[in-house]
Copies of this chain bind each other. A is one copy, B any other.
Amino acid sequence: MSTTNNADRIFHAIADPTRRAILDRLRAGPVNAGTLADGFSQSRPAISKHVRVLRESQLVVETRIGRERFYEVNPIPLQTVAGWLEGYRAFWQVSLDRLKRNLEDK
């Protein structure tokens, strides 16, 4: 995924349920890699790889303290998603009306 733009990277990052779960866990506060992995049934390396994807999309920030690495959420990239959704919010009512009309026509 080398020629991938920012938005793609972000949407891809949050597409995986484990990665969303990691973000949700980190929302409670920063934890080190080991503690984070303990909360999941997958192997530590598997979680490590998910965290890497999250870091590459900037959704997670790493802080190294000694040999430990703490991870925390950076919500900024989620604004990209929020912005995309926004384009549908305006559409919301109008489209529901149309959908309803279409369904009534049957």
Contacts and interface: CB of A to CB of B under 8 A. Distances in A.
Interface of A: 7-8, 11-12, 14-15, 17, 20, 23-24, 27, 61, 63, 72-76, 78, 81-82, 84-85, 87-89, 91-92, 95-96, 98-99, 102
Given A11-B20, A15-B11, A61-B99, A85 B74 contact: no
Contact of A63 (B81, B87, B96, B102): B102
Query: What does DSSP make chain A's interface, helix, strand, loop or mixed?
Result: helix
Contact of A75 (B11, B24, B78, B88): B88
Nearest to A29: B98
Given A63-B102, A75-B96, 17 more contacts: A11-B15, A15-B15, A20-B84, A24-B87, A27-B87, A27-B91, A27-B95, A61-B99, A72-B95, A72-B98, A73-B91, A73-B95, A75-B88, A76-B96, A78-B88, A82-B89, A85-B85
